[in-house]
Structures are given as C-alpha cells and as structure tokens.
Chain A
Amino acid sequence: MGAGIYIHIPFCLQKCNYCDFFSQPVDKEVLRREYTRALLQEIVFYGEKYGKEFKANTIFFGGGTPSLMEPELLERVLEELRKRFSISKMAEITAECNPATLSPEKLKEYKRIGINRLSIGAQSFDNEILKTLGRVHNAEDITETFKMARDAGFDNINLDLMFAVPGQGVRQWNNTLKKALELKPEHLSFYSLEICENTLFGILLEEGSLKETSEKTDRKMYANAINAMKKAGYEHYEISNAALPGKECRHNLKYWHFDQYLGLGASAHSFINGVRFSNVRDTEQYIMAMHNQDISRAWTLGSSDVFAADCVDSYHINTYRDNLGEYVFTALRTKEGVVLSDFEEKLKNEFWDVYGKERNEFEQFVRQGFAVSDKKHIALTRSGIDISNKIMSIFV
C-alpha cells in the first residue's frame, strides 16, 4: 500500500469570506520561488530520512491556490519528489485550481509535468452566491476553465461545490447542481458551508448581520445533491464526495483509509509511522525554518520525525486508543464504512472485541435505521450521515 504526499500552496489572489484554511493573498513571484526552495529543502530532509523506502502513489497540491504557481516551480517539486522517494508511475497527481487563474498554455505545462487530475474550486454557478462567498471568479469562468482543461487533455476533473451559503435558496442550488453535472466531471465534492470563527462570515454571524441557512434547508440541499448525482451515474462514496466508477480521489481516500501521508509546506499535516504532526501556519516562518535548516540538529533531537524544531506546529504520537478512534471515525465517512477484516489487519484486534462495551449503543442506531452492521462491515446509512457525529463519537 502506498502513501500519499500533500503539498500546501498557501497563496491566493484574495481571501474568501468563509475560508479558514491557511492562505495569504500574495502575488509576488519572488515569494513563490522562495517558498518552492523551502519545499525542496523539506523534501531533501524527508528524502534522507525515509528514502526510497517511502512509496507514494498520490500527490496532491492543495491550497490556497496551487494554480497560481508557475508550472516550472511545481515541476521542480515533482522532480525532487521523484528523485528522493519511490513515486509510482501510475500516481494520481492532483492540483487544485481556481477558475480564471489558468490559461491553455499553463494547463498544457501542468499536463506535461505529470499533473493528471484537476480539482476546480467552482463552488457555485450563481454569480450572486459567488459574490457572497468572496470568490474572484464568475460562473462563466468555471465553464471556460473546465473546457480549457478538457482541451488540454485532462480526463480526471473534480468540481468543488458549496451549499448552505447564506442567502442561497434550494432552487439556486439545484441549478448549480444541474450546471455542474452538465459539464460531466469525473468527480464532485459538495460541502455544506461551515462558518468558522475568525473568518468574515464568522464575524458577521457574531454581529448578527449574517443569517445561517436552516438545518432543514441544508439537509434538503444535501439530499438533492446526492439524488442528482446518483441519477447521473455517480457513486456517493464519501460523505461529501461522489465520483464516476473508478474515479474516486485516491489521495483523499488515504485520509479515510488510515493510510500514511506526508504533508509538505506551511500548515501541512502528516501521518507517518503512527505519528501525527504538522508544520507552522506561517509562510515566512516556514521558509525561515527551511533556510536555517540544521539537519544535524534535527537529527540529534533523536527520533524527531520532523524537519526542524521551529517548523513544527504540532507533534503527537498516537496511542493505540487514538488509532482506534481515528480509524473508525474516518472509515465511517466512506460508503463501505469500517471493513472489519481491514480493521483487524491494521489494528491487530477484532473490532467487536475492542468495542464490546459500545456495541449496544451502536446497535440502537442500527435498529433506528441510521447504520448497518453485518459480519463484514459496519457503515452509516443515508440518514445516518446526517447525524454521523453522534454515531462516530461512540467510537472515539
């Protein structure tokens, strides 16, 4: 089983009103170069640490807006990755991109350097909603970008969509769904807008000048999305993801399958050898840490899995209990749920031996139709997804 590699590109043209991810509006090329150099240094470090033993079959450029990066910069990163690790020839290599940040030339270059999957942050096909969200693009840009990508030969494209946006009606959402499906992407992600503190939306909500979508409307939109996608032949394989058969996002599946992944770049998260760790959420600090690299120091810190002490934001050695909880709640996000044999293989215990005490509570949900349980797996039903936290929390 191969690992995944995630590379965070923290740059955006501007911050969206809802965005809680680590990003900063920057358009200086020099910073992008410096950042790339830092990424290369980080790769060298982990390369020396894990070497060719580290086998990866997915690479994911996430952001921020990776499509703001000059293709040659991404190429350098990919070259370094291939040089230092064992990257499968068949690897899924995804770049997130925003409409109106791409040109046919750039797409051609992306294709050339090996990127074979695009994830387009469409969010909505309604210009009013896009404006509310604070996106820089409009609906026409999405279609145009999508067509451009097809023309450049991309045959694996995801569209990110967002619902339960303040002011969004069910009909508006249905229309976005329709427009998205008309483009026939291989993959669709659909997220219920989560309003986080410290975002513009969070502040407006606090002030009372923003009205959250009701839960009823939210669930109606979610149900409509699933129905529409199923009808169009997509498989709803994870809470917020649907894909044409065989086109599931292999990288994201690693998160749900308790697989290893290495996160590179500012704020990136890793899960390797039972340790969860992440880098600082600050571009300058990340670059500084990489430039002042003192690999020998990092090594003398002993078993340190991380690059340099001042680059680390969090570092947690999972306990067995952590592993259990994480395995289960991530697996329950997927359609097949917890596959008992896989659980046993990875966690060395039989599922119901570990969760004997919780079984009764879980079975209540099964009786009420929120979950299913048989000899091979346990999983959430469609109605169980709506209250998934409640069910997952049994197992953490």
Chain B
Amino acid sequence: MSNKEYQQYIRNFSIIAHIDHGKSTLADRIIEKTGLVDQRDMKEQFLDNMELERERGITIKLQTTRLLYHSRDGHDYTFNLIDTPGHVDFNYEVSRSLAACEGAVLVVDATQGVEAQTLANVYLALDEDLEILPVLNKIDLASARPDETKEEIEEVIGLDASEAPLVSAKEGIGIEDLLEEVVKKIPAPTGDPDGKLKALIFDSKYDNYKGVIIYTRIFDGRVSKGDIIRLMNTGKKYEVTEVGVCAPGPVPADVLKAGEVGYICGSIKQVSDARVGDTITLDSAPTEEMLPGYKKAQSMVYCGIYPAEGEKYENVKDALEKLQVNDAAFNFEPETSTALGFGFRCGFLGLLHMEIIVERLEREFNLGVITTSPSVIYRVVKSDGTVEMIQNPTNLPPQQEISYIEEPMVKADIMIPKDYVGSIMELCQERRGKMIHMEYITETRVQLHYEMPLNEVIYDFFDALKSKTRGYGSLDYEFIRYERSNVVKMDILLNKDLVDAFSMIVHESKAYARGRFVCEKLKEIIPMHQFEVPIQAAIGQKVIARETVKAYRKDVIAKCYGGDISRKKKLLEKQKEGKKRMRQFGTVEVPQEAFTAVLKYDENK
C-alpha cells in the first residue's frame, strides 16, 4: 500500500437538511446499517446526545462518529459522519464542521421539496467546495412527489438529482443505496500524511478525565501521543496525551493521519483555549499557512442570570463555570441587582444560545434561575468625550451625562420564497431595518439584504421570520458597525417601586409599544394580591404605560368531601411550590417566568 492509499477508503461527510426533513432519523439509520450500535441500545436520534436536543429536535452541540461500511465493491470503508447544528446562532459552527468534510448528503423531504434552510445549508456547503449528494427522504409517504422534488433540486439549486437515492429514513428504505452513493460520489480525502501537520478544530468538548477533547480533521501530516502541538490562532502549545477516533465514544489510536477525522487530548483546561476553526500544527515543524475561516467567538447578547434562591449563588457559579468550560462562545462575570441580589452578567451568541444555557442550568444542574431582559452592547459617548460600553441597562449613565448613544448594527441576509417578500419587508421595516439590496436567486426565491440594529434581531426576529414564512425563511447576520441611535432606558415599576431587573434599553419609537406590552404581560402573570398592584412603564419620570392587577377576593376550597383530602392537599402543595418560584419585590410577588415572558414579543398584540 502506498503511503496515501488508505485515503481511498475514507469518506468524510455531513448530512445537511432543512429542519424536520429527517436528518437525525437518517443519521440513526446509517448508524444502524453500519452496525455501530446495537439496535437494542439505539435511542432515537443517536447523534443528538443532549436530552435538550432530543426534546427540541434540534442539534445544538455537534457530534461526530466513525462508521465502518462494507461496500458492494468488496472493500471496507471508514465513514466519518459529522453532524451539524441547525440554528442561525450556530452558523459558524456549521461552516467549520462542513469544512472538515469532502462531501455532504443533502436530505430533501420528498413531500415538501426544497426549502429555505436547504438552500442556506447548500450555500454553506458550496462555500467549502463540498460534493453534494442529494437524497430524497420520506418516499414512503403517500404525499411524496420524488420527480417534482428532483426537478426542484435541479432548478433551484442547480444540482444533478437524476440519480438521487430515494429513501425513507423512518422505514429504513434505500439506505444501502445511499451508502453506495456515498462511496461512489463523495471524494476520498487527499493531503500529504508526511507533510507538515495541518489540522482543523471543528468541535471541542470538556471531559472530566481527559480535559478538553478536540475534534479534528487532519488535512496534512500526522499527530500522535507525545507530540507538542501548537494552536496557531491562540499560539498556545500542548503536549498530546491521547489521539483516537470517535465511535462515537473515544477509542484511542496510535496516530491520526492526513484525511482522517478523530480527537486529540492535551490537558487543555477550557474549550475556549481550543476554539473551533483554529488550526493545529506541530510545534517542532509548523505549517506555514493556517486553514482559512477562523473567527473569534463574540458574545452578541448579554443578560443577567440570578439564582432563584439567593443561597444558591455558589451553585450557580459552579454550574456556569462548568458550562463555560464546554462552550467557547459563552462568558460571564459577577454583577448585582437591587431587585435580584447577587448574580452574573452573561454573554451569548444569540437568544437561542441564551435559552439553551438557561435550560441546561435548570435541567443538568437542577438550578432555578431568573434571567433579565437581554441586551446588546451600547456604545455610550458621554458629554466629557469619554466612551463607555454598556451591556446592562442599569449601568447606563444619567441622561444629562450622555452626549449620544450608538448601537450595534448587523448585516442581515434573509432568504425567503417570493410570496413572503411583502410581509418580511414589513417585518424588517418594523424592526428598523434598512434594505440594501434584494435579489432573485431563482424564479421563486428571493434574498433580502438588510442593515438592522442587532437589538431588533435578538428579541425574536428569527421566530417572527419563521412564523411569517411558515418556516421557509432563513436568516444569517453579522456585525458591521456601531451607529448613532435614539435609544432610551425604560424602567418598570411595581407598586411604585422600580424593579431594575426589568429595565431595558429600547429605541424611542418603540418605547410606547414595548412598555404597553410589558405591562400587559406582567398583568397576566403577576398573581392577584390582597391589594391592588399598579404596573408602570416609565422613561425617566414619565410614565408611558400602566396596568393594574386587581386585588383578589377568593382563594378557598369550598369542600373536602368524604374524607378525600388528598386532592386539596395537592392543590395547597402546588400553591406552596408556586410560591417558591416567586420573587418578592417590596410587597409584590412576581413569578419567575415573568422575566422570560416579557421577552417574547407577540406580533399580534
């Protein structure tokens, strides 16, 4: 065997799809067919390994796994299947995992046809020069229309779909044909195993025993235990303590060579030290050129996270530290709030990222937390010429000290079917977007290019886009610059007391609507007290919205019949439990969900 022959029998690929087109189910079937996991042990959606992911049906943290396939041509092939996360917050992670592959299996639901995310993902894959192998899924359904879908793939994406395998991941139909196509169509990796080491970090996670595990694709050269590696962007050096392949659990190996996918451990303490996109090389013989596309993780959205029970502060801190170790894009520092006490200001990629962290705190660490309104970072230019970066509304200097405020702007690329252009332009306009450009990608698909304040994107723009386009819209955005803006701080008062945790920075034109919305929402959520509770939204001294929670009259169980007190007791226990989830602000009790509920902006209101 020549020194590169082994590469002929490797195929590195991802599966890409529009949400719900069956990506995870297909991955399950492929894993089953290649005999990696006993059918018995097979949990649905094998690659989505966080409980949360399985529940939400989305992949947050990607996973890679090595599979062995005995092809009809008589050879055994090693497949490295690299799963990709599926949300705009994690687009960068998607692009890096695609960069580790030679090809991508593009799953298209034969009942739905090509959709927005299909396209968005195809473009990401094309950016990485991947061979794209279209597959039609769900052909077992009566509503499947494979011929039309093929036509659509050819017309809209410009891929030859005539030989696209017809599969049903659910029923296990056509999976072998697909695997044969993978062997035939997806190119084997290339690269010089004797060259200088050049490897891509496409994922990393923290392991209690091994430290950070780097998931990597070797492009050139080789790496083994004992090598001193250098991460080219951070410049940090580590001694390799273990290399191996993912099956999907780590299986140690002697060496990883050009074309292979596997993991490297080297006593690395934090995943942020091994950032996705970085290039690994050997310290003794470094490569001259880095792999393209490295981006530093940048928190775009900030919010306060507070323990629901004050005494749990240390537990929350421990949990955040553990999460940070595993999530390069997440950071935090201590802060205090007069309403909520001691807590943390945390930075996230986006709103979904924030929701995930909060849910993980609650589920994996069993901690109740309160989150405050998310905020972007404002650039405050003061009258004396100094500049402050503010990511917590409470820290905004007094009005008289401020000369002007700048807010971050993003370039938002939105892809939608043409029928929705009107409603999405309306949405963007309402979100203070400026249209830069609009283009027809195909006869039926349009791409809109907008400049928009990030503040308007983070709340729930993505959700609104999805619901207005029935799931067909897709969004990508990146920061471009700071721009002067007329934003103000809006406070919320409960029974005349300011609750700083509800304060938010909003554009002046939106303040009234937002204030009204928050007051209405709080009115729904705050339970009746023995007295009336006025809820007010105010800018400075000026009240811009007001609602009142009426005093209650009745909270009594009329009867306990026949000695069956269990139901009544449950009710009382539930009430007591509910009270634990309440936060006392002065005389007013506020359920914790109030803090998240005021963030969800309902368009129809």
Contact = CB atoms under 8 A, between A and B. Distances in A.
A216 B530 contact: no
Contact of B572 (A62, A240, A325): A325
B562 A393 contact: no
Interface of B: 530, 552-566, 568-569, 571-573, 575-576, 579
A390 B555 contact: yes
A269 B563 contact: yes
A194 B558 CA distance: 8
B188 to A, nearest CB: 62
29 contacts: A4-B563, A6-B563, A189-B559, A191-B558, A192-B556, A194-B559, A215-B553, A218-B553, A218-B554, A239-B557, A240-B558, A255-B560, A263-B563, A269-B564, A269-B566, A276-B565, A325-B573, A329-B569, A333-B560, A386-B553, A386-B556, A387-B554, A387-B556, A388-B557, A389-B555, A389-B572, A389-B575, A393-B572, A393-B573
Interface in A364-388: 368, 370, 385-388
A194 B556 CA distance: 10
Contact of B557 (A254, A261, A389): A389
Contacts of B554: 192, 215, 218-219, 386-387
A17 interface: no
A271 interface: yes
Contact of A392 (B530, B552, B559, B572): B572
B530 A269 contact: no
Interface in A188-217: 189, 191-194, 215-216
B553 A393 contact: no
A363 B413 CA distance: 59
Contact of B565 (A191, A255, A388): A255
A330 B573 CA distance: 14
Contacts of B572: 325, 329, 389, 392-393, 396
B562 to A, nearest CB: 5
Interface in A325-353: 325-326, 329-330, 333
B563 A261 contact: yes
Which of B552, B563, B568 has most chain A Cβ within 10 Å? B563
Interface string A162-186: 0000000000000000000000000
Interface string A231-256: 00000000110000000000000110
Contact of B571 (A4, A239, A240, A389): A389
Majority-rule SS of A interface residues:
mixed
A278 interface: yes
Given A192-B554, A215-B554, A370-B530, 8 more contacts: A192-B556, A255-B565, A276-B565, A316-B566, A325-B569, A389-B556, A389-B572, A393-B573
A-B pairs with the 10 shortest C-beta distances? A393-B575, A393-B576, A191-B558, A192-B558, A215-B554, A269-B564, A215-B553, A396-B572, A269-B563, A389-B555
B124 to A, nearest CB: 47
B530 A239 contact: no
Contacts of A38: none
A216 B558 CA distance: 16
A84 interface: no
B565 A314 contact: no
* Max chain B Cβ within 10 angstroms of own Cβ: one of A193, A216, A270, A393: A393
A21 interface: yes
A268 interface: yes
Contacts of B565: 255, 269, 276, 326, 330
A164 B565 CA distance: 23
Contact of A385 (B556, B560, B573): B556
Contacts of A394: 576
A8 interface: yes
B555 A388 contact: yes
A240 B559 CA distance: 7
B558 A8 contact: no
Contacts of B530: 368, 370, 387
A263 B564 CA distance: 10
Interface string A136-176: 00000000000000000000000000000000000000000
A270 B563 contact: yes
Contacts of B558: 191-194, 239-240
Given A276-B566, A314-B566, A389-B572, A330 B560 contact: yes
Interface of A: 4, 6, 8, 21, 62, 189, 191-194, 215-216, 218-219, 239-240, 254-255, 261, 263, 267-271, 276, 278, 314, 316, 325-326, 329-330, 333, 368, 370, 385-390, 392-394, 396
Contact of A396 (B556, B557, B563, B569): B569
Nearest to B577: A393
Nearest to B568: A329
Nearest to A261: B563
Nearest to B573: A396
A387 B552 CA distance: 8
B46 to A, nearest CB: 39
A269 B562 contact: yes
Contacts of A218: 553-554
A6 B579 CA distance: 35
A351 to B, nearest CB: 18
Contacts of A390: 555, 575
A390 B553 CA distance: 12
Contact of B563 (A215, A255, A316): A255
A141 B573 CA distance: 41
A392 B560 CA distance: 14
Given A368-B530, A389-B575, A393-B572, A216 B566 contact: no
Nearest to A22: B562
Nearest to A190: B558
Contact of B556 (A21, A62, A239, A330): A239
Contacts of A314: 566
A9 B553 CA distance: 36
B309 to A, nearest CB: 14
A386 B555 contact: yes
Nearest to B563: A269
B559 A191 contact: yes
A193 B556 CA distance: 12
A152 B60 CA distance: 77
Contacts of B573: 325, 393, 396
B84 to A, nearest CB: 43
Nearest to A8: B562
A263 B571 CA distance: 22
B557 to A, nearest CB: 6
A333 B554 CA distance: 15
A271 B560 CA distance: 14
B533 to A, nearest CB: 15
A263 B562 CA distance: 8
A139 B575 CA distance: 39
A330 B560 CA distance: 9
A392 B552 CA distance: 16
A192 to B, nearest CB: 4
Contacts of A330: 560, 565
Contacts of B556: 192, 239, 385-389
Contacts of A268: 562-563
A191 B571 CA distance: 18
Contacts of A271: 563
A216 to B, nearest CB: 6
Nearest to A396: B572
A268 B564 CA distance: 8
A184 B194 CA distance: 106
Contact of B553 (A4, A219, A316, A392): A219
Contacts of B561: 21, 62
Contacts of A333: 560
Contacts of B576: 393-394, 396
B530 to A, nearest CB: 6
A396 to B, nearest CB: 5
Contact of A278 (B557, B564, B571): B564
A271 B555 CA distance: 26
A4 B561 CA distance: 14
B532 to A, nearest CB: 14
